[in-house]
Structure 1
Amino acid sequence: MSNTPVQAILTSRDGHVATIELNRPPHNFFDVEMIAQIADELDRLEADKRCRVVLLQASGSAFCAGADFSKRNDIREDRSASRINPIYQEALRIFSFGKPIVAAIEGSVVGGGLGLALAADFRVSCAEARFSANFNRLGFHPGFALSYTLPALIGKQMAAWMLYTGARVDGERAKEMGLVDFIALKPDVRIAGMALAREIATSSPRAVQSTKQTLKADSLSHIRNAISRESAEQSIQFAATDLAEGVKAMAERRAPAFED
């Protein structure tokens, strides 16, 4: 039996479209190394003139079910209020990518996985997909810039509902809310995502990239501010008892019993 570690991401290129595939099935839980690998690959593709668009997809039953809570040091180590969560430091590099990203979402998108999905410019999904910002249900403040990106995309009221409750939203409802841009049949999600990526790649790459820069001009500063506040809030809440109860309740598939 081979002991070769499974690659966290797989990469390929088809013409002007590069594909990054999350490769920790079935749930694609991330840690700081995985997010850093995605950011490193995007840095490489930023310099690759042949790449005009990136397609982000995932193997397994989930697109991304969020952070790997078995690696608690990624989340809690040296977490002073003034230090940004190292996962979110790497996430900032993803948000800074200057070329369009299309996310093809076939399965569940949970917690920080939703934050990763919202780093894309477009989301193509299916009715069977499920979207949840379950941070509060786990006992802590949302992260991965979702306190900015989610209300910016679907409005403050619906974002508050998703964040406060951790409710699961299916693909059709996500499309109605503006969380998803296009819906396809589940077997066709990757095909539809690639078709959109190729359509974008047909346009002038210089014009597309400069347009993205204009459209996103104010976003990065808001994202940095959101991540700074999120990290400060989480540093306090990770030291409390709510997180332990929230994670335990999730593992036991029951409602959490938080203290008053």
Structure 2
Amino acid sequence: MSETPNQAILTSRDGHVAIIELNRPPHNFFDVEMIARIADELDRLQADKTCRAVLLQAGGSAFCAGADFSRRNGAEGRSASRINPIYLEALRIFSFSKPIVAAIEGAAVGGGLGLALAADFRVSCAKARFSANFNRLGIHPGFALSYTLPALIGKQMAAWLLYTGARVDGARASELGLVDFIVPEAEVRTAAMALAREMATSSPRALQSTRQTLKADSLSHIRNAISRESAEQATQFAGPDMAEGVKAMAERRLPVFED
């Protein structure tokens, strides 16, 4: 694997399949820089005709735990009229035209779940955990989850996950449709690579045009979702609910929000 300058991600190649690995163990918390580096790599692979599919994986105990709200960096002061910079970079990931397979061996939480849903397929194991815990933290969902989650599993189940912040294991995630394939933990990467290779044997032009047909107008919906999510979050980052939500998470207790 080759390393980016700050090692936020690692990149390598297996034939027609490019591999991007998140490299901030154990939790792989992301920031603007990490998401931008993933997007930069996808932009490079977009122009690389020898790349036909991408495998997204992670080192550490978690696939991605989203943003580290215990180290808030001033994003709460953002104007409600501006898109969250992380989500602007995420739009570039969603704009990638080649199929992505995510190998999820650990937790995908918050924005980390949003990143997982940017992939076309998710291969995971029973041990993995999934949670859209934004409301439990006192803020509106982000990373386009207000669109991608209901589009994938239906509005009712998406509402349950978003409203409650419920954490589900890999088996339940598979039942809900969050995960496409469940395999033993030791086989997650192998199975995900096998799927990526299988797609890479198809005609690259036919593959990408078929994907474009299936995705249709999803990107415009994602842009709209990110715009609203950014505006809602901008007003909530500095609010008392988020302060309590983050404090409760750090203290491993249920939050107590004021009426």
Report if TM-score (shorter chain) is over 0.5: yes
- Counterpart residue number, 2:82: 83
Q: How far 1:229 moved relative to its partner?
A: 0.3
For 1:75 and 1:46, the matched residues in 2 are separated by: 30
Match of 2:69, SS state, is coil
**Contact preservation (8 Å) 1:111, 1:132:** yes
For 1:253 and 1:68, the matched residues in 2 are separated by: 15
Percentage of pairs with the same residue: 85
**Contact preservation (8 Å) 1:74, 1:86:** no
- Counterpart residue number, 1:37: 37
Match of 2:198, SS state, is helix
- Counterpart residue number, 1:54: 54
Match of 1:115, SS state, is helix
The letter for the 1-side match of 2:75 is: I
- Counterpart residue number, 1:233: 232
Task: Write the mapping of 1:241-256 to structure 2, written as runs, cut at 5 A.
Answer: 241-256=240-255
Alignment RMSD, CA only?
1.2
Q: Which runs of 4+ in 1 moved over 4 A?
A: none
- Counterpart residue number, 1:63: 63
TM-score normalised to the size of structure 1? Answer: 0.96
Q: How far 1:73 moved relative to its partner?
A: 2.5
CA spacing shift, 1:74–1:190, aligned 2, 3 Å: farther
Task: Write the mapping of 1:76-115 to structure 2, written as runs, cut at 5 A.
Answer: 76-77=76-77, 79-115=78-114
Q: Deviations over 1:102-126 (max 9, x none)?
A: 0000000100000000000000000
- Counterpart residue number, 2:9: 9
TM-score normalised to the size of structure 2? Answer: 0.97
For 1:164 and 1:251, the matched residues in 2 are separated by: 20
For 2:48 and 2:75, the matched residues in 1 are separated by: 33
For 1:212 and 1:206, the matched residues in 2 are separated by: 10
- Counterpart residue number, 1:160: 159
Structure 2: gaps spanning 5 or more residues: none
Task: Write the mapping of 1:104-143 to structure 2, written as runs, cut at 5 A.
Answer: 104-143=103-142
Q: How far 1:239 moved relative to its partner?
A: 2.2
Task: Write the mapping of 1:209-224 to structure 2, written as runs, cut at 5 A.
Answer: 209-224=208-223
- Equivalent residues, number: 256
Q: How far 1:6 moved relative to its partner?
A: 4.8
CA spacing shift, 1:66–1:151, aligned 2, 3 Å: same
- Counterpart residue number, 1:25: 25
